[in-house]
Amino acid sequence: MSARKISRALISVYNKENLDPIVHLLGKAGVEFVSTGGTQQYIEKLGYKVVPVESLTGYPSIFGGRVKTLHPAIFGGILYRRDEAGDLKEAKEHKIESIDLVIVDLYPFEETVAAGGTPEAIIEKIDIGGISLIRGAAKNFNDVLIVSSRNQYGKLQQLLESKNCSSDLTDRKAFAALAFDVTSHYDSAIFAYFNQDKEIPSFKKSIQQGRTLRYGENPHQQGKFYGNLEDLLTQLHGKELSYNNLVDVDAAINLVQEFDETAFVIIKHTNACGVATGSSVKEAYLKAFAADTVSAFGGVLATNKPVDLAAAEELNKLFFEILIAPSYHDDALELLKSKKNRMLLVQRKPLNEQVQFKSLLNGVIEQDADKKTDSKADLKVVTKVAPSADQVDALLFASKIAKHTKSNTIVLAVEGQLLASGVGQTSRVDALRQAIEKAKAFNLSLKGAVMASDAFFPFADCVEIADKEGIKAVIQPGGSVRDQDSIDYCDAHGMAMVFTGTRHFKH
């Protein structure tokens, strides 16, 4: 029989918020409550009698509450099969009464870890009885309804109201699936805590929030996003973010947050086609836009400062997909909303990914995020001519962009402005030639500019080509067996070059 009337409910929860309506619904329907500890007291204060777990088990709560519900009188009532003659006989023989509904809210293990709890406090927040109750009730979903998190109280309340404190098999199976999502996530969090040194080579990631996207990278591909996007971004206007939008938003945020000063970035297919700093968002945008007035069309834009009306008036002249900012002035927001599909996002906090992973070759690769940003302290002057203070600033600016650009890449810049970049090329020479050609296409002079490379130069050809275009300072990781060739060329032609010692490949 699919439909099951709830006659007896076991409730054992850590968080009791929003539980009142459920207790009242069950109590008024004549459901018997079984509970212990704080939950028992909570239900009794609402005016309902409770059968203490201890009266069923014959044992008090022992070992500081570590053992309360782990007993055949409890688990037998959950797990015995109502349509199995042998189970019915044993239940009667051992005086085990059925439990039709189990409501559990687990100890807050993840929250305790995140709050910096002591090892002792963290260990005590590993739920044993609760997780066992969930698994047992979910396994026997044919007969038992399991509610495994306070996040499901609303869903349960709707079910109880609509079906008069009954459930059918479809309901119970759906809640069982949610239950195993809860238990698997909980165990993954515990494993991550115990495997912080990653000595156990096991890949486990659990994200309980997700959304279906319109499609994936292309319309014939399905796409999903897993994570709490709203924790990072608030969307103020525009259509729903797509798969490609999310990829570009990630690239834009990672780049723009490299800067403390007012900065503006324009992203196309994860690569920057415009980056600049300025005294205002308007100035930074106009400088960034000047680097490539063609690719900016339909781009993803980001700034690290509030957008005012002066900036919005310039931005509104451009067709762009997305703008990300920490905030918007009211008049600027009103103007930018004039295009109905334009997506306007507020970045609520910094993006702070520590680990990156992706699927490939029937498996997954994982790495630490590239958190290294080249600084003045990292620079080793390897040429006779040292870069000037202004050149150092320009080199570090260019290096930040190269770090976030697809390899092989060459970035050409002046202080506070990207002039051009060569991206995703199969050779560094091709990347440089692409950057030079692009700068010339937009009438940007390279005289006195600087060059950044994400990896070392295997030959002197790149510094030679750059020199002939008027570039006089270079930043690169170094590390080639032929570094000296590039150094010798720079020395012979009055160029300054610094090594950082850090490669920034990006694939």
Given the residues 139, 185, 337, 493, select the one marked as catalytic: 139
Given the residues 71, 269, 329, 493, select the one marked as catalytic: 269
Indicate if 329 belongs to the active site.
no
Residue 260 CB contacts under 8 Å (≥ 6 apart), including other chains: none
Angle of helix 129-139 relative to helix 169-194, nearest 10 degrees? 140
Residue 93 CB contacts under 8 Å (≥ 6 apart), including other chains: none
- CA 66 to each of CA 60, 69, 290: distance values in angstroms, whole numbers, following the listed order: 11, 9, 66
Is residue 414 within 8 Å of 393, Cβ to Cβ?
no
Beta bridge partners of 357: 366
Helix (H) or strand (E) run with residue 211 in it: strand 210-212
C-alpha neighbours within 13 Å on the C-beta side of residue 382: 23
Residue 263: what residue type? A
d(CA 25, CA 162): 11
Residue 151 has φ and ψ, to the nearest 5°, of -65, -10
Q: Helix, strand or coil for residue 210? A: strand
Is residue 409 within 8 Å of 421, Cβ to Cβ?
yes
The single residue listed with the structure tokens 């930043």 is 475
Report which of 372, 368, 371, 370 is spatially closest to residue 355, judged by C-alpha positions: 368
**Number of CB atoms found within 10 A of residue 225's CB:** 15
Q: Helix, strand or coil for residue 272? A: strand
Residue 75 CB contacts under 8 Å (≥ 6 apart), including other chains: 69, 132, 133, 136
Question: What stretches of 404-495 show up as alpha helix (H) in DSSP?
Answer: 428-441, 461-468, 483-492
**Burial call 374-401: b when 16+ CB within 10 Å, e when fewer:** beeebbeebbebebeeebbbbbbbbbbb
Residue 10 has φ and ψ, to the nearest 5°, of -100, 120
Residue 463 CB contacts under 8 Å (≥ 6 apart), including other chains: 451, 457, 474, 486, 489, 490, 495, 497
Q: Helix, strand or coil for residue 181? A: helix
Structure tokens at 256: 């723009």
Report which of 203, 201, 240, 238 is spatially closest to residue 224, judged by C-alpha positions: 240
Angle of helix 153-162 relative to helix 169-194, nearest 10 degrees? 170
Residue 378: what residue type? D
Indicate if 269 belongs to the active site.
yes
Catalytic residues: 139, 269
